[in-house]
């Protein structure tokens, strides 16, 4: 009998609550990450604490939440009811313990299973909770889930509420840092969904008076809106709807009980269906659903009794029932839109006429493209069969699809040597490679017809599965991996132009990244440093002393697969591609890709000097 077949009582282990969370963090917070993606674990930790504060506000306790993030230490203070002092330790360290099991205290809460705060505790190198209540304070201090200090209750003159302070464990979240842009977006969502709530982040105030209407205004340019935002509210539902003049795809922001359901769910599907049905009935036409929804920019928020989500991170609603005596989610949303949207369109003729013109235009464009789309799909299918462009990963097969979907990544690279190095170095379970042939086309100012007529873009669109929107996006992270030279920068710009022109929601939702690879390798016989900047190179030389060997990497193809695996593994460095709301996509593309050559040249020269100055001074 071999050792592999031995299975006795000694093989059975019982993990306590914190050991299980630390051993299987993905079960509780999704992926880990380093903070470069908005769904990385460090933001989920913050969200779990904030959800408790929001639930206090929803229950009528506390209108202000204060957040401070400095040097990766997070402080969150609410002014709600405060945790009952005798249960402070239990609430943050005992599974299946919390106030949300009692529906009298929390009727329409986000966090219902009592896991979130415990996960934050277990995954933090330092965690402190303080509850101010009944003119007293009770605190508890933990390290990696272990209680290290449990002081007695003491008198307090501070306002009631809860203060949580934590530092994510650097041994779990490697090389992490909070990107304030992602935190701000999260906080804005909270205030849009809770008018009257004020949240401050490092002293900056976030507040909303008009809910989801403010959200769409913040995420869109006023000049790009086809008609004024339609804003409809009910007791447990709120929607905001408009259409973009320039965007091709559908854009949805959906929420349940204040939770941003980035992957949609039953409520978003019901909204899309009800919207089509209502508009068809209003105009008395059987318009194609894709023509009605093309270019839509919308938001929906509903409140559900005891919602069921498809994961602990609560990014997709699975509930089909509203609860509380209401009909199903589908019927509830359909009835609401049938009445409220129909009434709005009858009362606002300019909007109804603009919407109908948009639908008719979309219908005409779809019919013009139908033949091209059919040929393009056949071409993409044949190319896929021959595996010419895409080396896929296993995340779409079997159990991996559910467990590791958030980790799925596709690298878009150029040239056989670069794609070969990444292909040999990648994690075949979660990382795919798409190889470009030469520089892609500059698509600025072109229509979507070019996406189907250009082989590279047609195959890339098919690989990502985004022709009909992001609902079935195959990869959570889309990473542009090009050389850090002039040609590589140009390819990056051309690809970003393509996504901005035809799929801006990929960027808006935080899916597009630039891969950072080292510029230098500095080593001696004992140690090796990979340096991503001139300053890192100087630091490495000083650390090694003597005369170390210095290699300048001119391209991705020069980095061997054995070395490349370090740069796309746990220590991968990604720079997210972000949009500044102050500049529209059209303005951005017009400046970088348009015909304003002299203006752009001046900008590049001035900014290049700023970048070079530190290197020159060294």
Does 611 reside within a domain? yes
Residue 140 within a domain: yes
Q: Are residues 262 and 309 in the same domain?
A: yes
Residues 108 and 73 in one domain: yes
DSSP bridge pairs for 143: 146
Among 185, 206, 227, the domain boundary falls at: 206
Give the mean pLDDT of 80-108: 70
542 lies in a domain?
no
Q: Do 119 and 236 reside in the same domain of the chain?
A: no
**270's tokens:** 């019901």
Please indicate whether residue 467 or residue 484 has the higher confidence score (pLDDT).
Answer: 467
Question: Domain for residue 51, yes or no?
Answer: yes
- List pLDDT tens digits, range 189-225: 999 999 899 999 999 999 999 999 999 998 887 778 9
Strands 409-414 and 431-436: parallel
Q: What is the CATH number of the domain that holds 60?
A: 3.30.565.10
Contact 218, 225 (CB under 8 A): no
Q: Of 180, 206, 232, which residue constitutes the final position of a domain?
A: 206
Among the listed residues 423, 429, 437, 393, the one whose alpha carbon sits nearest the alpha carbon of residue 561: 423
Mean pLDDT over 225-253 rounds to 92
Residue 343's pLDDT band (cuts 50, 70, 90): very high
Q: For a pLDDT cut of 90, what percent of the chain falls above it?
A: 45
Q: Judge if 494 and 589 occupy the same domain.
A: no
Q: How buried is 128 (Cβ within 10 angstroms: 0-12 exposed, 13-18 middle, 19+ buried)? A: buried
Asked if residue 618 and residue 560 are part of one domain, the reply reads no
Greater pLDDT, 508 or 333:
333
Report the pLDDT averaged over residues 505-527: 90
pLDDT tens digits, 352-392: 999 999 999 999 988 888 888 777 777 776 665 445 688 88
pLDDT at 12 over 60: no
Our measurement of the distance from residue 213's CA atom to the centroid of its chain's CA atoms, rounded to an integer in Å, reads 21
264 and 198 co-located in one domain: no
Are both 25 and 94 inside the same structural domain?
yes
Comparing 86 with 110, the larger pLDDT belongs to: 86
Q: Domain range holding 602?
A: 585-618
Residue 350, in any domain of the structure:
yes
Backbone angles phi, psi at 249, to 5 degrees: -95, 175
Element (H, E) at 128: strand 124-133
Q: Residues 156, 40: one domain?
A: yes
- Inside any domain, residue 3: no
Highest mean pLDDT among 132-141, 476-485, 517-526: 132-141
Give the separation between CA 396 and CA 112, rounded to whole angstroms.
30
For 497, the token pair is 């132009």
Residues 113 and 187 grouped into a single domain: yes
The pLDDT mean for the chain works out to: 84
3-state secondary structure 498-531: HHHHHCHHHHHCCCEEEEECCCEEEECCCCEEEE
Provide the token pair at 457: 């873009």
One domain, residues 196 and 48: yes
- Kindly state the helix (H) or strand (E) to which residue 541 belongs, with its residue range: helix 534-544
CB 241 within 8 A of CB 229: yes
Q: Tokens for 337, please give them.
A: 């839109």
How many whole angstroms separate alpha carbon 406 and alpha carbon 315?
11
SS3 labels along 403-443: HCHHHCEEEEEECHHHHHHHHHHCCCCCEEEEEECCCCCCC
Provide mean pLDDT across the span 104-109. 48
Mean pLDDT of 448-453: 86
Looking at the structure, do residues 254 and 150 belong to the same domain, yes or no? no
pLDDT value at 519 more than 70: yes
Model pLDDT, residue 601: 54
Pair type for strands 431-436 and 136-143? unpaired
Same domain, 296 and 323: yes
Radius of gyration of the chain (CA): 26
- Residue that is written with structure tokens 């991968």 in the block: 572
> So what's the pLDDT on residue 103?
45
What is the predicted pLDDT for the residue at 385? Answer: 46
Query: Is 498 domain-assigned?
Result: yes
CATH label of the domain that carries residue 445: 3.40.50.670
In a domain, 499, yes or no: yes
Instruction: Please tell me the total count of domains within the chain.
Output: 4
Residue entry with tokens 């908005």: 38
Contact status, residue 19 vs residue 293, Cβ threshold 8 Å: no
| Residue in this structure with the two tokens 């973009």, named with its chain if needed | 244
45-68 pLDDT, tens digit each: 999 999 899 889 988 898 999 999
CATH of the domain at 252: 3.30.230.10
């Amino acid at each position: 009998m071999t050792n592999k077949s031995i299975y006795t009582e000694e093989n059975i282990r019982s993990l306590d609550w914190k050991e299980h969370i630390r051993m299987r963090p993905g079960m509780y917070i999704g992926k880990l990450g380093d903070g470069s993606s908005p769904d990385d674990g460090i933001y989920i930790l913050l969200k779990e604490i904030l959800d408790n504060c929001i639930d206090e506000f929803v229950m009528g306790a506390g209108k202000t939440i204060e957040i401070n993030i400095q040097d990766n230490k997070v402080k969150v203070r609410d002014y709600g009811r405060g945790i009952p002092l005798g249960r402070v330790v239990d609430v943050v360290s005992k599974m299946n313990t919390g106030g949300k099991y009692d529906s009298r205290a929390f009727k329409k809460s986000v966090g219902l299973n009592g896991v979130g705060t415990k996960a934050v505790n277990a995954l933090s190198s330092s965690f402190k909770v303080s509850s101010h209540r009944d003119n007293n304070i009770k605190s508890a201090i933990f390290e990696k889930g272990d209680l290290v200090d449990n002081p007695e209750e003491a008198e307090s003159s501070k306002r009631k509420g809860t203060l949580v302070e934590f530092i994510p464990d650097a041994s779990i979240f490697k090389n992490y840092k909070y990107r304030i842009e992602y935190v701000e977006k999260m906080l804005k969502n909270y205030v849009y969904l809770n008018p009257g709530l004020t949240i401050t982040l490092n002293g900056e105030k976030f507040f909303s008076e008009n809910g989801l209407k403010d959200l769409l205004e913040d995420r869109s340019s006023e000049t790009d809106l086809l008609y004024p935002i339609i804003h409809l509210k009910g007791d447990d539902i709120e929607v905001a709807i408009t259409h973009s003049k320039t965007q091709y795809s559908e854009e949805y922001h959906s929420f349940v009980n204040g939770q941003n359901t980035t992957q949609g769910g039953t409520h978003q599907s019901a909204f899309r269906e009800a919207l089509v049905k209502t508009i068809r009935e209003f105009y008395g036409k059987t318009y194609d659903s894709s023509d009605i929804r093309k270019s839509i920019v919308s938001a929906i928020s509903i409140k559900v009794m005891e919602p069921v989500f498809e994961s602990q991170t609560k990014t997709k609603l699975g509930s089909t029932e509203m609860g509380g005596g209401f009909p199903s989610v589908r019927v509830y949303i359909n009835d609401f839109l049938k009445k409220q949207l129909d009434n709005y369109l009858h009362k606002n003729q300019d909007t109804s006429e603009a919407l109908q013109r948009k639908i008719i235009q979309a219908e005409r464009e779809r019919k013009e493209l139908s033949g091209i789309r059919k040929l393009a799909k056949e071409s993409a299918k044949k190319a896929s069969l021959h595996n010419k462009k895409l080396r896929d990963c296993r995340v779409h097969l079997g159990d991996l699809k559910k467990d590791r979907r958030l980790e799925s990544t596709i690298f878009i690279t150029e040239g056989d040597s670069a794609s070969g190095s990444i292909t040999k170095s990648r994690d075949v379970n979660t990382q795919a490679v798409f190889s470009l042939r030469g520089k892609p086309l500059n698509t600025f100012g072109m229509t979507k017809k070019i996406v189907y007529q250009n082989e590279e873009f047609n195959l890339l669109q098919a690989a990502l599965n985004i022709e009909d929107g992001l609902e079935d996006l195959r990869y959570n992270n889309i990473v542009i991996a090009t050389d850090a030279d002039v040609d590589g920068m140009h390819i990056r710009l051309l690809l970003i132009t393509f996504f901005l022109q035809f799929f801006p929601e990929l960027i808006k939702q935080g899916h597009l990244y630039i891969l950072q690879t080292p510029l230098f390798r500095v080593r001696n016989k004992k140690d090796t440093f990979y340096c991503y900047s001139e300053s890192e190179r100087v630091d490495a030389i000083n650390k090694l002393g003597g005369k170390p060997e210095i290699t300048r990497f001119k391209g991705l193809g020069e980095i061997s697969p054995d070395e490349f695996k370090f740069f796309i593994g746990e220590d991968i460095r990604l720079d997210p591609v972000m949009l500044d709301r102050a500049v529209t996509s059209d303005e951005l593309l017009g400046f970088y890709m348009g015909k304003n050559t002299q203006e752009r040249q001046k900008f590049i020269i001035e900014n290049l000097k700023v970048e070079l100055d530190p290197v020159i001074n060294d």
